[in-house]
Amino acid sequence: QTFRYRLRLENYKQAPVNVRLLERIPASKTDDLAVTLTRTSLELSADGLYLRDDRPRGILRWNIQLPAGASGAKATDVVYTFQMKYAKNKHLGVRVKQMEKRMREASFDMMLLM
């Protein structure tokens, strides 16, 4: 299964702002389920600690500078896609479906960096 998400970031200030955007995708510790990030419209953070500690746990992180007044048609969109693959003799159970629902309903927290 392939999942595609779009996050829209807007800046209503008259000055640029730096944003650290965090998002979570599923992470599997077993061979029964493989989760692969297949595409991001913006490059993920290259921070060494993030790559070592958080990325393997399914956390996506972008460091983005939003231009002043970037709203509406000038907003910044972050699009990412991931795939979940599992053995043919397995099927997606309630837990994965609950996860899908939670991800679709989730609010996205942003931290402004000063």
Q: What is the band of 97 on the pLDDT scale with cuts at 50, 70, 90?
A: low
Can you tell me the mean pLDDT for 4-16?
96
Threshold 0.85, pTM exceeds: no
Rounded CA separation 54/57 (Å): 5
Query: Look-up: residue for tokens 């807007």?
Result: 10
Please report which helix (H) or strand (E) contains residue 42, including its range: none
pLDDT at position 96 is 64
Higher pLDDT, 65 or 32: 65
Rounded CA separation 34/13 (Å): 41
